[in-house]
């Protein structure tokens, strides 16, 4: 749910033209817990920053590379793979 990122195609839609708010996110997470979901998967609220495919690349679902160096996480874009 939190990975949703609206595209230009829904820019005029009253419900789909925005990302999930922090308040909505926590309401949903709380409700899942109240309902007793045991096998649910909760993504972090900022997951849309990491799960957005880049369809200009040869491999759109592998468009970012996560790297940990000296305990610091960095995200590298792989734009150099774009086909001409």
pLDDT tens digit at each of 84 positions of the chain: 677 778 888 989 988 998 888 999 899 889 989 999 887 777 788 776 666 677 777 877 665 555 556 656 565 655 444 444
How many other CB atoms sit within 10 Å of the CB of residue 24?
14
Q: Which two tokens stand for residue 71?
A: 């305990």
pTM of the model: 0.53
Nearby residues of 1 by Cβ (< 8 Å), 6 or more positions away: 20, 25, 28, 43
How far apart are the C-alpha atoms of 59 and 18, rounded to whole Å?
26
| Lookup result for tokens 């790297």 | 67
């Amino acid at each position: 749910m939190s990975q949703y990122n609206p595209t230009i195609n829904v820019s005029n839609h009253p419900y789909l033209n925005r990302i999930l708010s922090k308040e909505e996110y926590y309401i949903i997470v709380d409700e899942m817990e109240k309902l007793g979901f045991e096998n649910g998967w909760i993504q972090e609220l900022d997951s849309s920053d990491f799960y957005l495919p880049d369809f200009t690349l040869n491999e759109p679902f592998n468009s970012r590379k996560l790297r940990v160096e000296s305990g610091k996480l960095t995200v590298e874009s792989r734009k150099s793979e774009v086909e001409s």
